[in-house]
């Protein structure tokens, strides 16, 4: 009986484990230093399929490389990152999500990025903390934004310096 059990166990084919496919990322930023830093940050978990330095190159690369996620700087030569995202969102076969990466800590710009079709808004100074979270949130269909500073309305009247009577 013991031998039969061994035969049955030996005759069962082993299931092959397929390597998990990594999310494909396309980077767009006109700063080589930023591109290098973002590559180092993302490379352990994601597959970097390419990087470009301007908005027009982003349009071409996205069509060719078919990334899952695009990390896009707002201000680039040729075509702004926001305009590139708007144009790419109009392409029916491109299912990539866009995450805006910028130096601007500005809630109104975050709202504009969302309106353009981006799924994330990450301030570069917080990229080490927020970028991976933004990618995962975007892939799950949720918009992610780095906490942005509160806008101070400078036109509002200021309170008196002292409320005591003299």
Would you state the pLDDT for residue 10?
52
Q: pLDDT tens digits for 40-54?
A: 999 999 999 999 999
pLDDT at site 11: 54
C-alpha distances in Å from residue 69, one per residue of 7, 98, 150? 48, 6, 29
CA distance 11 to 20: 27
For domain 24-145, the CATH architecture is 3-Layer(aba) Sandwich (3.40)
More confident residue, 60 or 93: 60
Alpha-carbon distance 122 to 114, whole Å?
12
How many H-runs (helices) and E-runs (strands) does the chain carry?
6, 6
Supply the pTM of this predicted model. 0.77
67 has a pLDDT exceeding 90? yes
21: pLDDT strictly greater than 80: yes
Mean pLDDT of the chain: 84
Q: In this structure, is the dihedral angle defined by the CA atoms of residues 105, 111, 116 and 122, taken in order, positive or negative?
A: positive
* pLDDT on residue 95: 86
Domains of the chain: which residue ranges? 24-145
pLDDT recorded at residue 134: 97
Q: Which of 14-18, 110-114, 147-151 has the highest mean pLDDT?
A: 110-114
């Amino acid at each position: 009986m013991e031998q039969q059990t061994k035969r049955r166990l030996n005759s069962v084919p082993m299931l092959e484990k397929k390597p998990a496919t990594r999310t494909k990322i396309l980077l767009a930023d006109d700063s080589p230093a930023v591109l290098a830093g973002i590559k180092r940050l993302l490379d352990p978990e994601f597959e970097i399929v390419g990087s470009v330095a301007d908005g027009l190159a982003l349009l071409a690369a996205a069509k060719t490389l078919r990334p899952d996620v695009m990390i896009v700087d707002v201000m680039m030569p040729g075509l702004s990152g926001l305009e590139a995202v708007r144009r790419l969102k109009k392409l029916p076969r491109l299912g990539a999500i866009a995450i805006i990466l910028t130096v601007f800590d500005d809630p109104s710009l975050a709202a504009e990025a969302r309106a353009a079709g981006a799924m994330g808004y990450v301030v570069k100074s917080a990229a080490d903390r927020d970028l991976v979270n933004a990618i995962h949130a975007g892939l799950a269909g949720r918009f992610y934004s780095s906490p942005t500073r509160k806008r101070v309305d400078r036109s509002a009247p200021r309170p008196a310096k002292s409320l005591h009577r003299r």
